[in-house]
A and B are shown apart, each in its own frame.
Chain A
Amino acid sequence: QLVESGGDLVQPGGSLRLSCAVSGFTVSSFHMTWVRQAPGRGLEWVSTIYSDGGGTYYADSVRGRVTISRDSSRNTLYLQMNSLRAEDTAVFYCARYLPVADAFDIWGQGTMVTVSS
């Protein structure tokens, strides 16, 4: 199970850290991903952290402003977001990525981030 938290209303230029609490498996043993969905829009891949070595990858739209990480002791995935813009307003989902399936097999319920003055 994945449970996101941390979404909030934040002013443009502000920062926010999203959390994804993992239960039922170990966060460091799987590739984990953040996906977002702006209101009334489609899904957009944001970032992935790999289990083996922890390589991190980002969409062009967020690279340089966002950092994905994990805490094995808390079994939690994070997304640190800085220099937030109005266009970052979205529901953010965390999801588990399975290489053998090349797919996201488990999703959280999402947390809403609103960037507005």
Chain B
Amino acid sequence: SSELTQDPAVSVALGQTVRITCQGDSLRSYYASWYQQKPGQAPVLVIYSKNNRPSGIPDRFSGSSSGNTASLTITGAQAEDEADYYCSSRDSSGYHLRVFGTGTKVTVL
């Protein structure tokens, strides 16, 4: 199975911008989706198909992709954005298989 690699942790000052990256071979062929998970809660979809937001997700969340790297950007981070973030994509070893990234802990200072 393929892997998606994320930085373990990043921090951002309140109101500033932070970018979270996700690297993997499968991203050369498939878009990433992004999930926010707060402690003790289920994941929540925040970005899909590279840069689309589900209803209810603030527009400070955006996505992009280039080569083997997908990125999630939070522009004007808020205290409630402190959470773990996971990317996900199809597995390059099988179209119907899925893989999640290793996760990034975002701390808002």
Give CA–CA (A98, B31) in the complex, Å. 13
Decide yes or no whether B30 CB sits under 8 A from chain A: yes
Which among B1, B48, B97, B101 is the interface contact of A42 at CB below 8 angstroms? B101
B35 to chain A minimum Cβ distance, whole angstroms, is: 7
Interface residue count on the B side (C-beta < 8 Å): 28
A98 contacts across to B, CB distance below 8 A: 48
Mask of B78-100 contacts with A, CB within 8 angstroms, 1/0? 00000010101010001011111
A81 to chain B minimum Cβ distance, whole angstroms, is: 18
Decide yes or no whether A6 CB sits under 8 A from chain B: no
B58 contacts across to A, CB distance below 8 A: none
The SS class assigned to the A binding surface is strand
Give CA–CA (A108, B1) in the complex, Å. 25
When A43-B35, A44-B100, A57-B94 are in contact, do A101 and B49 touch as well, CB less than 8 Å? yes
When A45-B97, A48-B96, A55-B96 are in contact, do A101 and B33 touch as well, CB less than 8 Å? yes
Across the interface, do A45 and B98 meet the contact criterion of CB distance under 8 Å?
A: yes
A43 to chain B minimum Cβ distance, whole angstroms, is: 4
Give CA–CA (A11, B48) in the complex, Å. 39
Give CA–CA (A33, B37) in the complex, Å. 17
B77 to chain A minimum Cβ distance, whole angstroms, is: 22
Decide yes or no whether A102 CB sits under 8 A from chain B: yes
- Chain A positions near chain B (C-beta within 8 angstroms): 33, 35, 42-45, 48, 50, 55, 57, 59-60, 93, 95, 98, 101-105, 107-110
Since A42-B100, A57-B94, A101-B49 are in contact, a sample of 9 more A-B pairs with Cβ atoms closer than 8 Å, ordered by chain A residue number, is: A48-B98, A57-B96, A59-B1, A93-B42, A101-B45, A101-B48, A103-B33, A107-B44, A109-B41
